[in-house]
Structure 1
Amino acid sequence: MATLRARQKEDRRKRIVSSAKTLFREKGYEKTTIENIAEAAGVSGVTVHNYYGTKAGVLLALVVENDAALIARLDETLPSEDVDLIELVIGFAHTVMDHAIKNLDKEIWRQVIAAVTTEAGTRLSEAYSRLDQQLAYALIKKIEAAQAKGSIPEKVDPVHLGKALFHLQNARFIQFISSDAMSRKEIETRLRNDMTALFSVCIG
């Protein structure tokens, strides 16, 4: 059982992340300060700094927390029988983009990508990287299940294939957040074209 001190610490973390999410959406990332977050969370600026180091660190913590729910959603919604690989990846990308925009806008997601670079090597950046790996494995699990049912040839390595397809959709996700004018439908069309071209070469 968690001690009172541990519960209080976790409560402060949750308040900081929740307050940051609200402020980022209302004021924008650039106009939000550590002091704003601390005041909204009812803690000191020193506490925010001690927990997360920088504003970018708070942002990465927010993404890590939100994406834990995304992994569960992917596991529940993606098919594992009679899988068409193209439709599987399109469904994966659709869910990722839908989840991302429901939680943070594109401007803030651009800051997330920047934070991954500026916070490289930190505990939170490593947590973000582990999260990416978990997202990839959500796709890999579906490929493995399809392979077990005979939908995908045994000679295919599901881990390598899943990671390759994850990185492909991740590149399109970055393109999606890089432009306010880019729609999910357009990204899905481009991703479908990517995979159709690649698979036609492999089959040919």
Structure 2
Amino acid sequence: MQQAADMAPLPGLRDRKKAQRRAQILRHAARLFGQNGIDATTMAELAEATQVSPPTLFNYFGTKDGILIAMIAEGSRKFRETDTAMDPRTDAGFATILTDMLGQVTARTLEIAGKRVWRYAEASVIRHPDTDLSREYSAINDQLVCSVVGFMATYDLRLRCRDDPDPAQLGRLFFDVWNAAFLELIRDPEATLDQHQAVLEARIKPLARQIFEDGFLAAPTLKQSC
């Protein structure tokens, strides 16, 4: 018989309503931030859009940066729980697999928040590196680096130089290539995901050819389970 202590209590009606309202605020915030920009969107407009009072909005999030932190954190949590971009594949050349994986990361990142939000967060890190928003943005980057490193570590990597591969170093290298392309994408309002994907291919595939053995590039293999 399962002990009562092991059973997670179901949320009450009040908690469910609070969670639904919170999610509704974040949805409307994402829409208004994307349409008008963050600086141009007021807390009063957000309150009106979500049909809550300004004091209620402040009680939930405090400030617009608080809303952004919640939006990024919640979206990133769902990303980690449901994303399949980091699932290892062997059905194509490794350079193609890398490019496809990082392109999917871009698409999912833009589902979390639009270009304007990510531009604002990036600028906040530069201007105010000690704020909660900057720390959350940096934490998301760190989590993504770890995911890319973990992805690399699942493969039986073979280097052209014959050295022992370091998944941490390689994952960081390819993350940096992706991150530069992502920043270019969010800074250009007219840039499309297809254009971004072409940029990734133009940068990742030649780099991968310089680093990895031809045989591994053509037919990547996974590490054998112990």
- 1:147-186, Cα deviation, whole Å (9 max, x unpaired): 3xxx446811112211221122011001011112323233
1:139 aligned residue: 148
1:37 aligned residue: 46
Higher share in helix: 1
Residue 96 of structure 1, CA deviation:
2.5
Distance 1:119 1:65, change over 3 A: farther
Map 1:7-156; keep pairs closer than 5 Å: 10-74=19-83, 76-82=84-90, 84-102=93-111, 104-118=113-127, 120-147=129-156, 151-152=157-158, 155-156=164-165
Distance 1:188 1:27, change over 3 A: closer
Distance 1:27 1:186, change over 3 A: closer
Matched, 1:181 2:190: yes
2:223 aligned residue: none
Larger mean Cα displacement after TM superposition, 188-197 or 158-167: 188-197
Larger mean Cα displacement after TM superposition, 78-87 or 88-97: 78-87
The CA RMSD over aligned residues, in Å, is 3.2
Distance 1:62 1:170, change over 3 A: same
Alignment check: 8 A CA contact 1:81 1:145 kept = no
Residue 68 of structure 1, CA deviation:
2.3
Distance 1:105 1:77, change over 3 A: closer
Cα distance in 2 for residues equivalent to 1:127 and 1:109: 12
Cα distance in 1 for residues equivalent to 2:133 and 2:120: 15
What TM-score results when the alignment is normalised by the length of structure 2?
Answer: 0.70
Q: Given residue 135 of structure 1, which amino acid in structure 2 is its aligned partner?
A: L
Residue 128 of structure 1, CA deviation:
2.7
Alignment check: 8 A CA contact 2:149 2:167 kept = yes
Alignment check: 8 A CA contact 1:143 1:158 kept = yes
Larger mean Cα displacement after TM superposition, 164-173 or 79-88: 79-88
Q: Which 5+ residue runs of structure 1 have no aligned equivalent?
A: none
Cα distance in 1 for residues equivalent to 2:17 and 2:123: 31
Larger radius of gyration: 2
Residue 108 of structure 1, CA deviation:
3.7
Alignment check: 8 A CA contact 2:121 2:134 kept = no
Q: Which 5+ residue runs of structure 2 have no aligned equivalent?
A: 1-8, 214-226
Cα distance in 1 for residues equivalent to 2:28 and 2:194: 32
Q: Secondary structure at the match of 1:92?
A: helix
Alignment check: 8 A CA contact 1:60 1:115 kept = no
2:179 aligned residue: 170
Alignment check: 8 A CA contact 1:89 1:169 kept = no
What TM-score results when the alignment is normalised by the length of structure 1?
Answer: 0.76
Residue 5 of structure 1, CA deviation:
7.2
Residue 202 of structure 1, CA deviation:
4.2
Percent identity over the alignment?
26
